[in-house]
Structure 1
Amino acid sequence: MVVAAPQTQKRLTMQVEPNIAADTTAMRSLDWDRDRFDIEFGLQNGTTYNSFLIRGEKTALVDTSHAKFRELYLETLKGQIDPAEIDYLIISHTEPDHSGLVRDVLALAPNATVVGAKVALQFLEDLVHQPFEKMQVKNGDQLDLGNGHVLEFVNAPNLHWPDTIFTYDHHSQVLFTCDAFGLHYCSDDVYDADLAAISPDFRFYYECLMAPNARSVLSAMKRMDKLPEITTVATGHGPLLRHHLTELTERYRSWSQEKSQAETMVAVFYMSDYGYSDRISQAIARGITKTGVAVEMMDLRSADPQEVNELVGRARGLVIGMPPASGATVAQAALGTILAAVSDKQAVGLFESYGGDDEPIDTLATRLQDLELRVGFDPIRIKDTPDEGIYQLCDEAGTDFGQLLAQAKKLKKLKSLNAEMEKALGRISSGLYIITAQKGDVSSAMLASWVSQASFQPLGFTVAVAKDRAIESLMQVGDTFVLNILEEGNYAALMKHFLKRFPPGGDRFAGIRTRPAENGSPILGDALAYLECTVTSRMEVSDHWIVYCTVDEGKVSDPDGVTAVHHRKVGTYY
């Protein structure tokens, strides 16, 4: 069954799949045209918000939907069941895209018992503003719905909110995981039948949301391993995992093991449900993980002093989101524990949350300066609702922070290479190019040399982009950009400009002649030629993404001009 929103809105539809397992119905809210999510990353294929009904002798509803689907979702729910017959409302976590209609559902099901982790129930009390029956669950607790549907709860904090729980139905062998193992991919396909189509979005989703919580992913998967057979992973976003369940879940395990084994780690402290702290911290964390530095995130709202002390002791760097100055006793105590545990060998970065009552950032910055900690990035001061530019700034600040900590390790690795092999590899010559990209209000640029034509039909080429480059987030599958080809004898000024280290959020085109391409990205006025391109696919290697692009348009400004050539002495740096 499909229910559509009025055509004057962006496409919002509902899809019902009545038999994903025994007595189990999926209600999928399809957000076809959503192009950005909570943090800075863009979406190429929209997203979905998945909700589930489990009917035993009693009935449980697992998660609701985004508030934008209020009418569509409630109409669909009423078409499946009289809401008053819902006995339990299971909250996988309280992020608004899944709990945005909890109050509406409880208004229709006033006798339902809300089931969730302790932190989730505390938050819902503030959200609903009315009494409701509640059941607090922890890892291993069970709820018997009857007719064999025994639900077991699996603790999965920080995936990607601190109050996340999974729910396993012993009868249907379905594991409901909300954000974990999901992807932002909107289609009529209920399941993961087309692995090739969903793989890029599956990886991108992991990198944006789960990579900063790699250790938490592994902890949750250890608990999953103790469950009986899992036949379906019912995710909160995108298709459900069934056809390629083992392949996709093992990718999570492999990626998380790789990231958690990083020698260097940054502890990111934030305050969930306060201002934009969670989103800003996620953007900074993603920038850090691009550099190969691991991240562990901790919510100051529920931080245990002993765990805070232990985490600070292991971290090479600290990122701290300012908690509210009043009314957050636990957060203030955690901040005191952090200050008592830091050492002068650590680097630190601070950000405001735009919560309206932030602890003064300058006071804390001064205290950390007195303790002689290194500055990982200048304090990020949020004065308005964060936009694309702010999230890009946060991503770039995190990248700078990670590069600062990873620098010594890179130098040590370079010294260990064979000198003759380095020289031989360096004899591979290449051209000189500048890649420019614009997406919404965010723009970026990068000097490139590892570019090579790769196909005739269609016309296409590859470019290697280091994982820690700011422009990497603007070169996902489906994104567009411009390849500006530099001219021999006329490239020194452009090369010098784009080799500069720009501050996070800095304008990379200040003082440079540009004009917009058809795809919106800047064309450099002093380039010999340009190509307008679309990213078609990406292949991951150890420290770069190999990006294959097709050419949409191009022009040469001087027919007699010659492409600048880049010669290196060694192959261990650009």
Structure 2
Amino acid sequence: MVALTERVQNRLTLTVEAIAPHTQTLRSLDWDRSRFDIEFGLQNGTTYNSFLIQGDRVALVDSSHEKFRQLYLDALQGLIDPTAIDYLIVSHTEPDHSGLTRDLLALNPNLTVVGSKVALQFLDNLVHQDYQKQQVKSGSILDLGQGHVLEFVSAPNLHWPDTIFTYDRATEILYTCDAFGMHYCSEVTFDEALGPIEADFRYYYDCLMGPNARSVLSALKRMESLGPIQTIATGHGPLLRHHLTEWTGRYQEWSQAQTKASTTVGVFYISDYGYSDRLSQAIAHGITKVGVNVEMVDLRTTEPQDLTEIVGTLAGLVIGTPPNQPPETIDTALSTLLALANTKQAVGLYDSYGGDDEPIDSLLGKCRDAGLKVAFPPIRVKETPSEAIYQLCDESGTDLGQWLTRDKAIQKMKSLDSDLDKALGRISGGLYILTAMKGDMQGAMLASWVVQASFEPLGFTVAVAKDRAIETLMQVGDGFVLNILEEGNYQPLMKHFLKRFPPGADRFAGIKTREGSNGSPILVEALAYLECEVVSRMECSDHWVVYAQVNQGKVSNPDALTAVHHRKVGNHY
């Protein structure tokens, strides 16, 4: 393995390593990246992985982010003369994987770009020049010679509509781009140990793949028709070789659980316009936190007859505003969508922020004229989306999901045996408020399921419902504060944080706080506080049990007692 720069000198580094016969990876290591689209507060940076396959002919699978331009091109030219590369396989066209396509075409104008039909359409709008292209789909073959026969698998919506997988029969490597990836930066190339990376693997799935669970299952099914898979070469994070069955099994399990939901929301977006794809993904993530299934639909690539089949199955629709003068395909799709919607369906709207958006009020008026119920205030994006905007999208999606499932939730609470319900309710707990701040994002919630769990190090567990807004801010490595309420003096704080905050609302308006050393708010009127860091998370049906290590804390009144919460029933708060 050759390191081209030292981490201590430059937080952008690149490594080159042989991973199989005639096959090398160029891994661009972005050590300090702290946010990636809707994945907030990355703890371990990320990588952008590219692969060089040399048979009688040569193929490059993906390139890198443009921030790595010089590092990447220098490394590539150290391996091969770019004019000797026959094919550039574009797994999908997001800039972190295709950002150097124009540079490669400048070095080698005879390069043939290989991609799905949709990918090549997107690239036409990105490179703005003529180039040789080869369209592929599931079952297409590209023979590089010396046994390197490449077979392609269509994998739309993982997580863009243009995604393809590439399988090399000679090395039994499957190149999957975003799928099975994670944002984890390390000089270790492969998944040698599960423990250090499984939290990042799950978080990545929840943010990007969970809202596309049906597409995940379809891709897994198509993978079965390929030969043996020894390595999954992902676009982000370590390559998967040592625990393949575990990783693919988790994708299967999580996706099956998600698609079993009886309620489905369609999220309609325009993949290559403005920030439509990222905003839609954030809203979809919020919806899935409630256990509602999501169907992601790209208005640019979906045929009207397919819309007819999809819309009838939906309980709700989320629509991103199209351009002021949308292409005919989008205009037709939008008209079809509104014509098919019925008055029993809820709708949510968001501004894609593409620079020339149709006013969102015009689309809102059309939805109301169609008799649709508006589930959350339209999300108006007036500038490049910030962390706060993505959090607003996430919370709006959760509100929509909760609104659609509220009747089922009430029915479920009533279904538990009354004696058991009352007995379970006799488990008491203290009263606490969790507070967290990360960049522009904030969160708070009233908690009572808190238990000390260890002496060395000092630690405790807290149960956080999956649909709580603060859950996003309590990933492994995140800091937060546990504020302990005082007996006889907890009502004002409890009343405030029991309120149902609208999406994007300031949880701390009117509350006295000061900033903790980890950046999270400390409630001045609390009895005591503990500054904590999330060490691990365990999934428990509708909650996450979070284990946190305590770093510091203080009591304001040593003689006071903790407020205690006594419930009458045990099947809801």
Secondary structure of 2:215's match?
helix
Q: Give me the whole-angstrom Cα distance separating, in 1, the residues matched to 2:206 and 2:394.
A: 12
Native 8 Å contact 2:429 2:564 kept in 1: yes
Aligned residues, how many?
A: 572
SS of residue matched to 2:300: helix
Letter in 2 for 1:401: L
Q: Distance in 2 between matches of 1:202 and 1:105?
A: 31
Residue identity matched to 1:247: E
Cα-to-partner distance string for 1:534-573 (whole Å, 9 max, x where unaligned): 1010000100000000101100001111100000001011
1:454 is matched with 453
| Distance across 1 between alignment mates of 2:326 and 2:533 | 50
Q: Secondary structure at the match of 2:481?
A: strand
When normalised by structure 2's length, the TM-score is 0.99
The residue that corresponds to 2:25 in the other structure is 26
- What do residues 124-163 of structure 1 show as CA deviations (whole Å, max 9, x unaligned)? 1111111110001111110111111111110000000010
**1:386 has 2:379 as partner:** no
Letter in 2 for 1:555: K
SS at match of 2:297: strand
**Mean Cα deviation higher: 529-538 or 325-334:** 325-334
Contact 1:288 1:402 in 2 (8 A): yes
Instruction: Report deviation, 1:198.
Output: 0.8
Separation of aligned partners in 2, 1:237 and 1:413: 40
Q: Give the equivalent residue in structure 1 for 2:270.
A: 271
Shift of 1:7: 6.3
> Which structure 2 residue ranges, 5 or more long, are not aligned?
none
Q: Cα RMSD between the aligned structures?
A: 1.0
Residues 42-63 of structure 1 show CA distances to partners (whole Å, capped at 9, x for unaligned) of 2111110000001110000000
In the TM superposition, what are the counterparts of 1:90-129 in structure 2 within 5 Å? 90-129=89-128
Change (3 A) 1:370 1:31: same
Matches for 1:546-561 after TM superposition, within 5 Å: 546-561=545-560
The alpha-carbon deviation at position 365 of structure 1 amounts to 0.9
> By how many angstroms is 1:425 displaced?
0.5
Say whether residues 1:15 and 2:18 are aligned partners. Answer: no
DSSP 3-state at the match of 2:218: helix
Identity in percent: 68
Following the alignment from structure 1 to structure 2, what is the Cα–Cα distance between the partners of residues 194 and 130? 45
Residue aligning to 1:131:
130
Deviating more after overlay: 107-116 vs 356-365: 356-365
Distance 1:258 1:6, change over 3 A: closer
Whether the 8 Å CA contact 1:455–1:461 is kept in 2: the answer is yes
- Which structure 2 residues correspond to residues 157-556 of structure 1 after superposition, within 5 A? 157-556=156-555
What is the CA–CA distance in structure 1 between the aligned matches of 2:391 and 2:338, rounded to whole Å?
28
Structure 2 distance, partners of 1:103, 1:190, is 28
Cα distance, 1:40 vs structure 2: 4.7
Q: Is the 8 A contact 1:5 1:72 kept in 2?
A: no
Paired with 1:72 and 1:408, the residues of 2 have a C-alpha distance of 56
Q: CA deviation at 1:217?
A: 0.5
Contact 1:214 1:256 (C-alpha < 8 Å) held by counterparts: yes
Following TM superposition, the consecutive aligned residue runs of length 4 or more in structure 1 with deviations greater than 4 angstroms are 5-9
Q: State which drifts further: 243-252 or 351-360.
A: 351-360
In the TM superposition, what whole-angstrom CA distance separates every residue of 1:404-457 from its partner, at most 9, and x where no partner exists?
112112122222211111111100000000000011111111110100100011
Whether contact under 8 Å (1:40, 1:388) holds in the other structure is no
Task: Determine if contact 1:40/1:391 at 8 Å carries over to the other structure.
Answer: no
Q: Distance in 1 between matches of 2:255 and 2:141?
A: 28
Amino acid at match of 2:13: T
Letter in 2 for 1:431: G
**Distance in 1 separating the partners of 2:218 and 2:352:** 28
Deviation at residue 246 of structure 1 after TM alignment: 1.1
Amino acid across the alignment from 1:214: A
Please list, as runs of the form range in 1=range in 2, the aligned pairs for 1:8-87 lying within 5 A after superposition.
Answer: 11-18=11-18, 20-87=19-86
Instruction: Report the CA distance between 1:327 and its aligned residue.
Output: 4.3
SS in 2 for 1:196: coil
The alignment partner of 1:395 has SS state of helix
Partner of 1:3: 4
Q: Give me the whole-angstrom Cα distance separating, in 1, the residues matched to 2:453 and 2:201.
A: 25
3-state secondary structure, aligned to 2:197: helix
Cα offsets for 1:472-522 (capped at 9, x unmatched): 010000000100000011111111111111111100100000011111111
SS of aligned partner of 2:501 = coil
Give the distance between the partners of 2:6 and 2:109, measured in 1 at CA: 27
